Structure 1
Amino acid sequence: MSSEAEGRFHIVDVSQITSRPLRDIVRTELRTEDGVRIEAVYEPSTASVSDASDTSGVTAAAGTSEAAGTTGASGTAVVVAHGFTGSVDRPALRRAAQVLRRHAHVVTFSFRGHGRSGGRSTVGDREVLDLSAAVRWARELGHARVVTVGFSMGGSVVLRHAALARGTGAHTDAVAAVSAPARWYYRGTPAMRRVHWVVTRRTGRVVGRYGLGTRIHHRDWDPVPLSPVEAVPLIAPTPLLIVHGDRDPYFPVDHPLMLADAAEAAGTPAELWLERGMGHAENAAGDELLDRLGTWLARS
């Protein structure tokens, strides 16, 4: 599904479609570098004025003459990357966004092939360009500090993005991967065998489109993108958080342990949270965990 090697990362040219103040909720459309239309939502923090009064990391919003601080904005925006078959309007993602808004401003978006976004899902490959577009939009809205959190497929995307976007205007200042795989083509659980059937079989892709609301590309990866465990050593010095449930039905705990070991071997500053009793991704992330995630993302 890739059109080129992973050796360099493209900077995405994102147009800001709205000029409404940062205190408003904004729903807009972004364009990725490869021309895919991506739906995105910006939601300001619900923290109190005193909690959100630190504006040292905020610059003037693109297309405005006001500093973001005049709208009560703090310096941090969290960009949230959903899992496979998710979208900005799915209840689990909406709940996660509302909890994270207690700590920072939040940008959610639908990956290509999901929700109202265009294109077809490449299941974690070119989705890096979708995330890059959302991160760049957050910076154009005036946030000098932008962090990312991803769930499942989105977790693999935020890891690769953190490695590949360093030194560009679409970089992240901290990254958290929740329920992310460590390696590609994993079929060791019944849940992942079902996912592979949906992605690789024509009948499965029909089920994906009409049953799961996800349009999946029929082409194989060519070349195979950088895997999450290969991306982790390239993330340093960006702070990294790995979160995984010990009852994840898709990826067992050897996946987060592989990611943590790769970070330790490379000297990447990383934390590992193994959550007792937790299942998979945003659907299984309780409010208490999301609240801790928000605290980590706002302060790391």
Structure 2
Amino acid sequence: MKPARIVAAITGAAAVVAAGAAALGWIVARTLTAPVSGRDFDLRVHDVEHDGERTWIVLDRTSDTAATGIYNLGFEHGGWAQLGPEIRDHGPDRIARAVTGASDGLEPKPGDRVSWSGIYYATPADAGLDAREITIQTPGGACPAWRIDGSSTWAIHIHGLGGTRAGTLRGVQVATELGYTSLAVSYRNDGDGPIIGSGRATLGWTEADDVEAAIHYALRCGADRVILFGWSMGGTIALQLVLRPHLKPFLAGLVLDSPVLDWRRAIRANCKHAGLPGFAEKLAMPWLESAPLARLLGLPSEIPIDAMSYRTSAKRLTTPTLIIHGAGDLSVPIDAAADLRDMRPDRVELYQFNSGHTVSWNREPAAWRTTMSHWLQRTT
């Protein structure tokens, strides 16, 4: 082959590789910021067994369905069932879980499509909480929230990416037992809050402004101090807010469960978990950090990924912080939390559970509640 043809062949191959790399980065970034689409009903009920007054639901055996702890099973046709820790072995491919509670009128049957979740309580009433629905005016629009009244210490509970405020009710219970007033908030593009633009998430960057509005609401209503409870991306949001100088005097503590403290690490971990090559995270970054590419993706502007990293904020963190994290978390590995603890042992305490992402409560509810309650009583 002549040199000119060799150069042309290499150039063409490079263009194909570059186009493929750009496409992979676009897919990763687009998936990460995708608008809320509801639950995936990716499990099927194989059988329903009755043992006296107890009902057992037979499911495919997966790492989730075989996990120790208590969980929630949502049904595609509506309704939910709470599952206790009891497990019956049905061979290598199936497993049965005991039903400990269910929504009114639910009658599980073989063939039902269901969705597994760590969000155990669907509503405040399910969690034994006396809540009222309010609306908080935010820069993104009117955001619904649940308010549970208590003392002049307020707890603001922030859910994660793809989650709902129902997921925070596990922490609201502890705050309520301590006498705090709680707000379980929503924010733009989370399925409860207003839809802005294409409905895509900005990984906590703009969502933080909506949660700041909830803090101002609490202060207007008489709060003398505020504690932020952040779950997953809610931890990203909480960490941003506690560094805002005008809010610092009012924020007495951070309680973070499985927080995303470094989006680069989290994206890398999720790519690996999905079977993508290790460099996929780097390919996604330009689509998030470059304004022109971000707009092509459907975002309002670029996302300053590093500005939300614990590396940027560690030195400025003055608020007492509790982090609860699962050692087996494949979505948000515990190493970033451990790094922040090591960088700021004077401000950060880290408690490790043998669990996955945001399911430490589900795995060991009593230990989780005790850890959080004791820390709050001792620290804030």
What's the TM-score once normalised by structure 2's chain length?
0.52
Q: Which residue of 1 aligns with 2:211?
A: 131
Q: Please give the secondary structure, in 2, of the residue aligned with 1:233.
A: helix
Q: Which residue of 1 aligns with 2:240?
A: 160
Alignment of 1:1-300 (within 5 A): 25-32=131-138, 34-44=139-149, 73-88=150-165, 90=166, 92-103=167-178, 104-118=180-194, 119=196, 120=199, 121-164=201-244, 166-168=245-247, 171-186=250-265, 187-190=267-270, 218-219=299-300, 221-224=302-305, 225-236=307-318, 238-264=319-345, 268-275=346-353, 277-281=354-358, 283-286=359-362, 287-288=365-366, 289-299=368-378, 300=380
Offset of 1:256 from its aligned partner? 0.9
Q: Which residue of 1 aligns with 2:20?
A: none
Higher helix share: 2
Offset of 1:87 from its aligned partner? 1.7
Offset of 1:298 from its aligned partner? 4.8
- Cα distance in structure 2, aligned partners of 1:84 and 1:192: 19
Offset of 1:97 from its aligned partner? 2.0
- How many percent identity over aligned positions? 24
The structure whose RCO (Cα within 8 Å, separation 6+) is larger is 1
Residue type of the partner of 2:238?
V
Q: Please give the secondary structure, in 2, of the residue aligned with 1:242.
A: strand
Question: What per-residue deviation string (whole Å, max 9, x for no partner) do you get for residues 111-142 of structure 1?
Answer: 21113201342121112112211112122222
When the two chains are superposed, the root-mean-square deviation of aligned CA atoms in Å is: 3.0
What's the TM-score once normalised by structure 1's chain length?
0.65
Higher strand share: 2
Is the 1:175–1:240 contact (alpha carbons within 8 Å) kept by the matching residues of 2? yes
Q: Taking structure 1 as reference, are residues 191 and 37 closer, same or farther at Cα in structure 2, changes over 3 Å only?
A: farther
Structure 2: 5+ residue stretches without partners: 1-128, 275-279, 285-296
Is the 1:77–1:143 contact (alpha carbons within 8 Å) kept by the matching residues of 2? yes
Q: Taking structure 1 as reference, are residues 41 and 221 closer, same or farther at Cα in structure 2, changes over 3 Å only?
A: same
Q: Taking structure 1 as reference, are residues 278 and 191 closer, same or farther at Cα in structure 2, changes over 3 Å only?
A: farther
Question: What per-residue deviation string (whole Å, max 9, x for no partner) do you get for residues 24-49 of structure 1?
Answer: 733222122x34322111112xxxxx
Q: Taking structure 1 as reference, are residues 221 and 258 closer, same or farther at Cα in structure 2, changes over 3 Å only?
A: farther
Q: Please give the secondary structure, in 2, of the residue aligned with 1:261.
A: helix
Q: Please give the secondary structure, in 2, of the residue aligned with 1:185.
A: helix
- Cα distance in structure 2, aligned partners of 1:261 and 1:228: 12
State the 4+ residue runs in structure 1 displaced beyond 6 angstroms. Answer: none
Is the 2:153–2:223 contact (alpha carbons within 8 Å) kept by the matching residues of 1? yes
Larger radius of gyration: 2
Offset of 1:290 from its aligned partner? 3.3
- Cα distance in structure 2, aligned partners of 1:226 and 1:161: 10
Offset of 1:95 from its aligned partner? 3.5
Q: Taking structure 1 as reference, are residues 223 and 255 closer, same or farther at Cα in structure 2, changes over 3 Å only?
A: closer
- Cα distance in structure 2, aligned partners of 1:162 and 1:39: 22
Structure 1: 5+ residue stretches without partners: 1-22, 45-72, 201-215
Q: Taking structure 1 as reference, are residues 219 and 35 closer, same or farther at Cα in structure 2, changes over 3 Å only?
A: closer
Residue type of the partner of 2:302?
W
Is the 1:26–1:43 contact (alpha carbons within 8 Å) kept by the matching residues of 2? yes
